[in-house]
Structure 1
Amino acid sequence: MKWAEVSIQAAEEETDLVASCFYDVGATGVVIEDSETESDEQELSGAGRALRVMVKAYLPVDDELDGRIAAFRAGIERLAETDGFDAAACPIAKRIVQDSDWENNWKAYFHTQRVGQHIVIQPTWEEYTPLAGDVVLRLDPESAFGTGTHPTTAMCLRALEQMVRGGETVFDVGTGSGVLAIAAAKLGAKTVIAKDYARASAEVAAKNVAENGVQDVVTTGVSDLLAAFDGQADLVVANIIADIIIRLFDELGAHLTPGGRLLASGIIDERVADVTEAAVAHGYVIEDMYTDAGWAAMVLRRASE
């Protein structure tokens, strides 16, 4: 399968908004890289200038690709109304990559790594001999961007080690590769529902769930936020971005038990105040917070009724 790597330069503080535009057109995740050199990719719009980071996402090359790129461009242009939004003046670029190119690119940078006290992320193509007490997650993220090593995911894994004590019902919103759902299951959760907006990601998650032998605990599927989730969870995990987390609060009340908790990650430091404001407005209190490399993960508890 062919994929379009779509990219745009942005200031570091704009990455959250750019990522939101990518998610709105069906991207399953974003890659953020330092951008110090000129791109030789195909220019699609605008006149670029040097900024601090390059934000990339991957979209399938199909009949909807041109429409997705046009919708992404329109979203960026709408953000031009935001004071100081530099990305609106930058070119949007694309290049076509083969599925195999993408897979090899992941494998070149993704190696076995310990995250937290007990969790070890092991790529399926590497060998690893577990130590006593290790919780090993065997993973092939394919196109789902979930290696477990990015600060946003690593903070969630460290938090799950503290939060999952056994017997919980966990909802994983925007599951990606399924890494957080698998971790929750292996840490002792009784039931885990893991769904993603993108069908391709849900399929990758299902493969990884089977690879780890937790298919009796973890159910995967497709959902726009919590729309296709039934019942209530003791813990909802959402490693997405601030704007979508803020939207999630409107749906959360029907799907979280009184006293239940939300583990929200993918929040850049500059947006913590916005998420906090939304949480308080919906009756949640901040129980804990993790920070790493300019990102934050927040543990929010729903007030008991």
Structure 2
Amino acid sequence: MKWSEVSIEAEARETDLVAACFYDVEATGVVIEDLPDGRVMVRAYLPVDDALDGRIEAFRAGIAALADADGFDAAACPITSRIVQDSDWENNWKAYFHTQRVGKHIVIQPSWEEYTPLAGDVVLRLDPESAFGTGTHPTTAMCLRALESLVRGGETVFDVGTGSGVLAIAAAKLGAGKVVAKDYARASAEVAAKNVAENGVQETIETGVSDLLATFDGQAELVVANIIADIIIRLFDELDAHLAPHGRLLASGIIDERVADVTEAAVAHGFVLEDMSTDAGWAAMVLKRAGE
């Protein structure tokens, strides 16, 4: 299959705005590359089909609208695109994605590499394909490290916007009793299902498609959302129905400049910050209900 790789360079503080424009044109996800001087390259992949030209024009219009509404310097953020094949995805991942230890116990192992586990290792075999989340970006790595202490065994975990499924697989291998992992993009949900099977945790993890928590049933002791600040803020509207008493929300994908916005939304919905970690301009927040 052919994809159009659409890229735009922007200030790191503008990441959420750009990502929202990509999601508005039904991108399956975004890749964020940190650049020098506080800038980022934001990329998304759109299928090459009859709707492609319209989606790209709509994205350009969305970026232009930011200049009017938010003072976004569109002239300093040129948009480029190129056509890539599925095989290009595979080669790109294999060139830059290698076995890596994250946290005390978790090891991310690409499915095409060999690795001999050490005592106590929790090994996650992963092939991102056209989904997002190798476990090595600071936003995901912070979540994985947090899961090592948040998952205590036997609990239910909801992974919202699962991408490649890396966080869901980690939760299952750390001892969660049940994990539900869903993504807005069907292609990502399918990749997550493959990775779940590759890791032999399909009896624990249910995968599927969902806009935030819309198709999640019941409640979880831990809700994980490694997305972007604006979508995490939307998530608070749905959280009460799906977070069990004394449960925790682990939220990541938040640039430092948006921590205050997420905190404000949390407080407005009766939540307080319990813990936070930061890395390379990104934050991961652990939140709980006030008084619990």
Indicate the larger mover: 88-97 or 103-112. Answer: 88-97
Between the aligned partners of 1:177 and 1:88, the Cα distance in structure 2 is 34
Query: 2:23: which partner in 1?
Result: 23
Shift of 1:51: 9.3
Shift of 1:72: 1.7
* Deviations, residues 67-120 of structure 1 (Å, cap 9, x unaligned): 322222222122112443113663322100011011101100000000000000
Asked if 1 retains the 8 angstrom alpha-carbon contact of 2:10 and 2:76, the reply is no
Alignment partner of 1:218 is 2:238: no
Shift of 1:65: 1.7
Counting only pairs closer than 5 Å after superposition, residues 171-250 of structure 1 correspond to structure 2 as 171-250=158-237
Asked if 1 retains the 8 angstrom alpha-carbon contact of 2:12 and 2:255, the reply is no
Alignment partner of 1:87 is 2:74: yes
Shift of 1:5: 0.2
Shift of 1:35: 6.2
Query: 1:146: which partner in 2?
Result: 133
Counting only pairs closer than 5 Å after superposition, residues 54-65 of structure 1 correspond to structure 2 as 54-65=41-52
Indicate the larger mover: 66-75 or 173-182. Answer: 66-75
Query: 1:294: which partner in 2?
Result: 281
Query: 1:259: which partner in 2?
Result: 246
Query: 1:47: which partner in 2?
Result: none
Query: 2:263: which partner in 1?
Result: 276
- Matched residue of 1:238: which SS? strand
- Matched residue of 2:253: which SS? strand
Asked if 2 retains the 8 angstrom alpha-carbon contact of 1:173 and 1:238, the reply is yes
Give the alignment's TM-score, normalised by structure 1.
0.92
Between the aligned residues of both structures, percent identity stands at: 86
CA RMSD, Structure 1 to Structure 2 (Å):
1.7
- Matched residue of 2:263: which SS? helix
Amino acid at match of 1:273: A
Between the aligned partners of 1:11 and 1:149, the Cα distance in structure 2 is 22
Number of aligned pairs?
292
1:70 pairs with 46, 54, 57, which one? 57
Between the aligned partners of 2:202 and 2:181, the Cα distance in structure 1 is 11
Moved over 6 A (4+): none
- Structure 2 regions of 5+ residues with no counterpart? none
Between the aligned partners of 1:282 and 1:149, the Cα distance in structure 2 is 31
Alignment partner of 1:7 is 2:7: yes
Asked if 1 retains the 8 angstrom alpha-carbon contact of 2:25 and 2:58, the reply is yes
Between the aligned partners of 1:245 and 1:88, the Cα distance in structure 2 is 29
Between the aligned partners of 2:74 and 2:106, the Cα distance in structure 1 is 37
Shift of 1:200: 0.3
Give the alignment's TM-score, normalised by structure 2.
0.95
Counting only pairs closer than 5 Å after superposition, residues 109-188 of structure 1 correspond to structure 2 as 109-188=96-175
Asked if 1 retains the 8 angstrom alpha-carbon contact of 2:223 and 2:250, the reply is yes
Asked if 2 retains the 8 angstrom alpha-carbon contact of 1:9 and 1:51, the reply is no
Indicate the larger mover: 277-286 or 10-19. Answer: 10-19
- Structure 1 regions of 5+ residues with no counterpart? 37-49
Asked if 2 retains the 8 angstrom alpha-carbon contact of 1:8 and 1:87, the reply is no
Between the aligned partners of 1:16 and 1:199, the Cα distance in structure 2 is 22
Indicate the larger mover: 88-97 or 155-164. Answer: 88-97
- Matched residue of 1:180: which SS? helix
Between the aligned partners of 1:174 and 1:97, the Cα distance in structure 2 is 24
Asked if 2 retains the 8 angstrom alpha-carbon contact of 1:259 and 1:304, the reply is no
Amino acid at match of 2:24: D
Indicate the larger mover: 2-11 or 290-299. Answer: 2-11
